[in-house]
A and B are shown apart, each in its own frame.
Chain A
Amino acid sequence: MPSKPSNLSLISKVYSLTIQSFQKNPKIYLPFAIFALIEFMALMLLYLAPRPPLRALFGPPIASIWGEKFLHYPANFFLLPKLAYYSRMGLSVVFSSLLTGLAVAMTYKRPLNSAYKKYVSLFLIVLIMTVIVFLGVKVITASLLKYFYAGHSKLLFWGPDMWFGPILTVLNFVVAILVQAPFIYAIPILIAGDQKFLKAIFHSFLVFKRYFVVSLFLVGLPMLFYIPVVFLYSNTAFLIDKFFPEVMLLVAILSVIVNSMVIDPLMTISTALLYSLEKEKI
């Protein structure tokens, strides 16, 4: 019986296969580029939301949820990162689910129809992941708010400045990794045609359990590329004051590039290839 390779050698093998896949078949990159383009177009709409004629469409919800002031220059640029975040969530569920499926199908050299046919399942998988990440982040933020509003000045040696600054950012990262990692194999399992929707999720949990450390690494490592964007977003007021308000649009574009052109391809293809290695063994 062959011995189980070490985590490190498995990770390096998967990444080497990932790079080879992109080199041999650059078309794999196309779904991610398409999604980046969709996200970019949505971002442009959000950037132009305070101006007519788009203001008629976006103005009322922005004013009622966040306040009328965010429809004015330069306050709109303070809201832009949040709007971009919510827009990405929605677009991921509707478009990225299918496009990720297409990329996995290309990686497995399966007909693209295999992704189109399973759009509903892909949609539901991404929807579940997105909702759990969203709720996880909300629960953490609300708990911290409740704790500090109750009059406490410190939690585990740190005050609200630290908790609502870097620590919350790290916690959000951890939530994103811990939620995405167990679900990450569900799309490759679906596209490989092995299982139905619920079984694919269940099977994904099993693969995650088997490759716990490797999975966390394959999901978490690409996310580190996002740290500079988080740093820029957390200094919004400083950037606007020192440079110009439109700098936040540039940061949002950078966020689209890093998310859709770096993190998503690396995470999706590497985990898909790890699953194919797992299958080969079986």
Chain B
Amino acid sequence: MKKLSAIILLGACVLLSGCGQDQYAVERQYYWAQKQAGVIFNNPHATPPHELQKSIDTFNQLIREYPKSNLAVDAQFIIANLYIATEEYEKARLQLSKIIKIYSKSQPICAAAVFLQGNSYEAQNLWDSALEQYKKVIEDYPWTVKGIETPIYIAQHYKVKFQPDNMVEAYKEAIAHYTSLSREYPLSPVALRLKILIVQCYGELKDWKAVVNTFDNVLAEYKGRVQLDGILLDLAMVYDRGLKDKVKAKETLGKLIRDYPNSRVLPLAKSLLKQVSVK
């Protein structure tokens, strides 16, 4: 009798597994909607309007059926991206405004939506309008991933467009922004991330002394708090390649090898030390 009950229970589990409208069912529906959208993304200009509409309807249906799923948020963004890919910029921005309204309590979602609005202007070659949106991301959502990444994104735009003066200005603004943010939560992991971004900006400006100073500052502040082997390796590379100071590069690599004998970057450090010693 017990065996029969166990078999019946197992059978019921199997049958129930196939019927539920669970997360797996959402993922399945989302996968197929994405496949459909992938065809449009691959060749947006050759997409007939009804195909675009069909794809958007599929995502909207998923959003309606599973409004609380995290994939519903992704679906909203895919609709906006579909409009951008097919150059329907106004519709894209309307969709993004809708996202900001629906998810007004979620800073990361709103930041991503405003950033994408900036992208839509950029795709239209309307840089000033795009910049306005990007500044909004930096000011309104400073602690989101997008908020932190955007200052460097702006500087890189100027770099790609061969506007060196604007690029230098943008990197300086980024450094000032990151410095002021890092002061709000000193010694936190996010402050460390911001300092690394400051180093990245100084590196782009080829201001190697400022890079070394920032790294030294990080090494002093975070000693004993986090693993600093990666930073020591980067610092050694800056000494070697940026400042051409072999002695300091060797010293830094020696410190890395001494202080972190089990580090994952040890083989790289040793090979760099060999190279520095040979030169």
A interface, CB within 8 angstroms of B: 44-45, 48, 50-54, 72-74, 245
- Beyond A72-B24, A73-B24, whether A48 also contacts B14 by CB under 8 A is yes
- Beyond A50-B24, A72-B24, A73-B24, whether A245 also contacts B18 by CB under 8 A is no
Contacts of B14 in A (CB 8 A): 44-45, 48, 54
Contacts of A48 in B (CB 8 A): 14, 17-18
Q: Give the shortest distance, in Å, between B259 (CB) and chain A (any CB).
A: 25
Number of interface residues of B (CB under 8 A): 13
Contacts of A74 in B (CB 8 A): 27-28, 31
Q: Whose C-beta in chain B lies nearest to the C-beta of A49? A: B17
1/0 per residue B130-155: CB within 8 Å of A? 00000000000000000000000000
Contacts of B31 in A (CB 8 A): 73-74, 245
B49 at the interface (CB under 8 A from A): no
A–B Cβ pairs within 8 angstroms, 27 of them: A44-B14, A45-B14, A48-B14, A48-B17, A50-B24, A51-B17, A51-B18, A51-B20, A51-B22, A51-B24, A52-B16, A52-B17, A52-B22, A53-B13, A53-B16, A53-B17, A54-B13, A54-B14, A54-B17, A72-B23, A73-B24, A73-B28, A73-B31, A74-B27, A74-B28, A74-B31, A245-B31
Known: A44-B14, A51-B25, A54-B13. 7 other contacts (CB 8 A): A45-B14, A51-B22, A52-B16, A52-B20, A53-B16, A73-B27, A73-B28
Interface of chain B: mostly helix, strand, loop or mixed: helix
Give complex CA distance A44, B11 in Å.
11
Give complex CA distance A103, B84 in Å.
65
Contacts of B16 in A (CB 8 A): 52-53
Q: Whose C-beta in chain B lies nearest to the C-beta of A71? A: B24
Q: Give the shortest distance, in Å, between A125 (CB) and chain B (any CB).
A: 28
Q: Whose C-beta in chain A lies nearest to the C-beta of B30? A: A73
Give complex CA distance A50, B20 in Å.
12
Q: Give the shortest distance, in Å, between B206 (CB) and chain A (any CB).
A: 32
Give complex CA distance A50, B28 in Å.
12
Contacts of A245 in B (CB 8 A): 31
Give complex CA distance A52, B22 in Å.
8
Q: Whose C-beta in chain B lies nearest to the C-beta of A48? A: B17
- Beyond A45-B14, A51-B17, A54-B17, whether A72 also contacts B27 by CB under 8 A is yes
Give complex CA distance A245, B24 in Å.
13
Would you list the 6 A-B pairs with minimal beta carbon distance, nearest first? A48-B17, A73-B27, A51-B17, A73-B28, A51-B24, A53-B13
Contacts of B17 in A (CB 8 A): 48, 51-54
Q: Give the shortest distance, in Å, between A9 (CB) and chain B (any CB).
A: 49
Q: Give the shortest distance, in Å, between A34 (CB) and chain B (any CB).
A: 15
Q: Give the shortest distance, in Å, between A268 (CB) and chain B (any CB).
A: 28
Contacts of A72 in B (CB 8 A): 23-24, 27
Give complex CA distance A73, B24 in Å.
6
Q: Whose C-beta in chain B lies nearest to the C-beta of A151? A: B267
Q: Whose C-beta in chain A lies nearest to the C-beta of B27? A: A73
Give complex CA distance A44, B17 in Å.
10
Give complex CA distance A245, B28 in Å.
10
Q: Give the shortest distance, in Å, between B235 (CB) and chain A (any CB).
A: 25
